[in-house]
């Protein structure tokens, strides 16, 4: 692949030189080659971007909602024209198989963008309560800090509602996937959005991310990433008494009730965990199976895992690519080793390098059985292709085990009777639950309970995060 050298940051509607010559390399995780060099932003770059967003705010905040909707539609058009380029870029810097890049990584954010173009046009930004008129006004300048695992989706899930609400935004994407962010900035430019409404600063989290999270002229920070960094971002927001939205980690339960079609439930569960090499915050990484059908489920899971041999993400036959980085691989392998040490039964996979892949950050898709609730592989977010299968005695035991987590992001329930699954789902302490493998809904609120976060993304609920209320008494 060609090595690109990128200069500058996108601020105030143009690519402008970065404050220093510092840069970071972008590495293709499938072959460990450097594919690009991008500027590593500093506090000066963040300052310039925030100031551009501040200058653009009064104009953008007072545009008619229909005008903001039209801008999002124009942005959607630009993205659609470059679907292939986005997909190839995401595969090159993240390592996800190309088909997955095209669908989950590009089509999903397009659906999100469309949904906000529509919502911006028809959301009631004003309501009457008795003799008061309640106005919903934009929060102001938003700092958005995003991770690498669904690089375009994570940015669009913040940019679209923020712009729909009338906010302006500064995005700091993950250092692993800045090329997707630069493509998005190119689309913003081509769509003709007013200068300063969208700004991009690439750079490392400790420097550019921290500068954005701490910046005194940012009105709100929306962060997606690890719970550890989320706590720091929340602490900065607390010091400034300003709103913060956090989309953090997860360890979601997939509860298979005894009546469920186990073949479908287990196979879908395995796919859910191994998709994107397990680097999905909402992945159902704990599979809970009734003791009467436990060994059957373990065998079904092992068979399903055989279809996920890691390989070159550009090969159409590949269903699982590498992990994003050497650091992520080291973290995942450490968790796998701990699982073995703590006595979980290794059904398939393990910490050894996969055969025939001398380069790239590949790991074996791994399944543990006989995992008990307090083992590290039942508690820690691994963020790799590792599934823990657990046994439950009865429904109360399943609820207890499912809720025994510091996280509460997502989950799944399977049953032959939908009402039974829904009744069970009501007992889960988690932000969303998929019943019998139901499809993702880009209009439904997405976000976590407990240490999985604060606030919601997507749909009407996601828009509300970027609005503040003002009551006029008449």
Tell me how far, at minimum, the Cβ of 206 lies from ligand NAD, in Å: 5
**Shortest distance (Å) from residue 38 CB to ligand NAD:** 13
Select which of 93, 175, 214, 247 is catalytic: 247
Calpha distance 329→322 (Å, rounded): 9
Residue with tokens 């719970």, as numbered in its chain:
227
Q: Taking the mean position of all CA atoms in its chain, how far away is CA 315?
A: 25
Q: Which helix (H) or strand (E) is 454 found in, with range?
A: strand 453-454
Q: Could you give the CA distance from residue 364 to residue 382 in angstroms, rounded to a whole number? A: 14
- Cβ closest to ligand NAD, residue 312 vs residue 381: 381
**Minimum distance, C-beta of residue 212 to ligand NAD, in the bound complex (Å):** 7
Where in 181-220 is the site for ligand NAD (CB under 6 A)? Answer: 204-206, 209-210, 213
| Cβ-count burial 102-132 (b if 16+ within 10 Å, e if not) | bebbbebbbbbbbbbbebbbebeeeeeeeee
Q: Is residue 152 near ligand NAD by the rule CB under 6 A?
A: no
Q: Is 407 in the site for ligand NAD (CB under 6 A)?
A: no
Q: Put residue 317 in one of left, alpha, beta given phi > 0 → left and psi -120 to 50 → alpha.
A: alpha
Stretch that binds ligand NAD, among 88-96, 130-138, 148-156, 413-421 (CB under 6 A): 148-156
Binding flag, residue 147, ligand NAD (CB under 6 A): yes
Question: Distances in Å between the alpha carbon of 232 and those of 150, 205, 226?
Answer: 22, 12, 10
User: How many angstroms separate the CA atoms of 282 and 434, rounded?
Assistant: 11
Is the Cβ–Cβ distance between 94 and 177 less than 8 Å?
Answer: yes
Judged by beta carbon, residue 26 or residue 266, the one nearer ligand NAD is 26
- Confirm or reject binding of residue 462 to ligand NAD (CB under 6 A): no
Q: Which is nearer to ligand NAD, 36 or 298 (CB)?
A: 36
Q: By C-beta, is 258 or 445 nearer to ligand NAD?
A: 445
247 has catalytic annotation:
yes
Site string for ligand NAD, 311-340 (x = CB under 6 A): ------------------------------
Minimum CB distance to ligand NAD smaller for 101 or for 348: 101
Q: Which residue is nearest to ligand NAD (CB)?
A: 205
Q: Which of residues 239-268 bind ligand NAD (CB under 6 A)?
A: 247-250
Instruction: Map residues 116-145 to x or -, x wherever contact with ligand NAD holds by CB under 6 A.
Output: -----------------------------x
Q: How far is residue 429 CA from its own chain's centroid?
A: 20
C-beta of residue 289 within 8 angstroms of C-beta of residue 301: no
431 within 8 A of 409, measured Cβ to Cβ = yes
Supply the Cα-derived Rg of the chain in whole angstroms: 22
Task: For the CB of residue 149, give the shortest distance to ligand NAD in the complex, in Å.
Answer: 5
Tell me the closest approach of the beta carbon of residue 139 to ligand NAD, in angstroms: 19
Q: Tell me: does residue 274 bind ligand NAD (CB under 6 A).
A: no
Angstrom distances, CA of residue 223 to CA of 39, 56, 204, 213: 21, 22, 14, 9
User: Can residue 146 be called a binding residue for ligand NAD (CB under 6 A)?
Assistant: yes
Which of 167, 187, 281, 335 is catalytic? The answer is: 281
Residue 226 touching ligand NAD (CB under 6 A): yes
Count of all residues that appear for the chain in the document: 474
Nearer Cβ to ligand NAD (9/213): 213
Query: Residue 159 corresponds to which tokens in the numbers above?
Result: 């940019």
How far is it, in rounded angstroms, from Cα 29 to Cα 363?
12
* Identity of the residue, 145 or 369, whose beta carbon is nearer to ligand NAD in the bound complex: 145
Hey, what's the torsion of the CAs at 449, 451, 457, 458, to 10 degrees? -50
Active site residues: 247, 281
Kindly list the residues in this chain that would bind ligand NAD in the complex (CB under 6 A).
Answer: 145-149, 154, 172-175, 204-206, 209-210, 213, 224-226, 229, 232-233, 247-250, 281, 381, 383, 409, 448, 453
């Amino acid at each position: 692949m060609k090595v690109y050298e990128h200069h500058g940051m996108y601020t105030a509607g143009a690519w402008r030189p970065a404050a220093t010559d510092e840069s970071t390399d972008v590495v293709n995780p499938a072959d460990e080659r450097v594919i690009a060099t991008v500027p590593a932003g500093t506090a000066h770059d963040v300052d310039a971007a925030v100031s551009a967003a501040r200058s653009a705010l009064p104009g953008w905040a007072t545009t008619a909602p229909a005008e903001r909707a039209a801008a999002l539609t124009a942005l959607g058009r630009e993205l659609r024209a470059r679907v292939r380029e986005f997909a190839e870029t995401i595969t090159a810097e993240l390592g996800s198989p190309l088909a997955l890049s095209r669908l989950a990584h590009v089509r999903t954010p397009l659906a999100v963008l469309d949904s906000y173009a529509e919502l911006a046009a028809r959301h009631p930004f004003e309501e009457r309560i008795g003799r008061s008129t309640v106005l919903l006004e934009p929060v102001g300048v938003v700092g958005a800090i995003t991770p690498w695992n669904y690089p375009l989706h994570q940015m669009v899930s913040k940019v679209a509602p923020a712009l729909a609400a009338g906010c302006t935004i500064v995005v700091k994407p993950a250092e692993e996937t800045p090329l997707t962010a630069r493509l998005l900035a190119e689309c913003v430019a081509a769509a003709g959005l007013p200068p300063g409404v969208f700004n991009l600063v690439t750079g490392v989290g400790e420097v550019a991310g921290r500068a954005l999270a701490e910046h005194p002229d940012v009105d709100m920070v929306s962060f997606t990433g690890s719970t550890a960094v989320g706590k720091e971002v929340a602490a900065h927001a607390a010091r400034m008494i300003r709103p913060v939205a956090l989309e953090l980690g997860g360890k979601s339960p997939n509860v298979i009730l005894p009546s469920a079609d186990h073949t479908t439930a287990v196979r879908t569960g395995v796919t859910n965990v191994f998709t994107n090499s397990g680097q999905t915050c909402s992945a159902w990484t704990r599979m809970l199976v009734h003791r009467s059908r436990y060994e059957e489920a373990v065998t079904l899971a092992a068979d399903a895992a055989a279809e996920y041999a890691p390989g070159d993400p550009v090969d159409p036959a590949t269903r699982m690519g590498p992990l994003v980085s050497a650091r992520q691989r080291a973290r995942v392998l450490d968790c796998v080793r701990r699982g073995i040490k703590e006595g979980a039964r290794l059904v398939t996979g393990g910490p050894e390098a996969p055969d025939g892949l001398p380069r790239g950050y590949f790991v074996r898709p791994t399944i543990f059985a006989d995992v008990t609730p307090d083992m590290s592989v039942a508690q820690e977010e691994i963020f790799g292709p590792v599934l823990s299968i657990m046994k439950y005695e009865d429904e109360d035991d399943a609820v207890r085990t499912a809720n025994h987590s510091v996280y509460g992001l997502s989950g799944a329930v399977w049953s032959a009777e939908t009402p039974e699954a829904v009744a069970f789902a009501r007992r889960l302490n988690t932000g969303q639950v998929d019943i019998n493998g139901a499809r993702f809904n880009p209009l439904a609120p997405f976000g976590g309970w407990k240490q999985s976060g604060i606030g919601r993304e997507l749909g009407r609920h996601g828009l509300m995060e970027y609005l503040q209320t003002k009551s006029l008494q008449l």
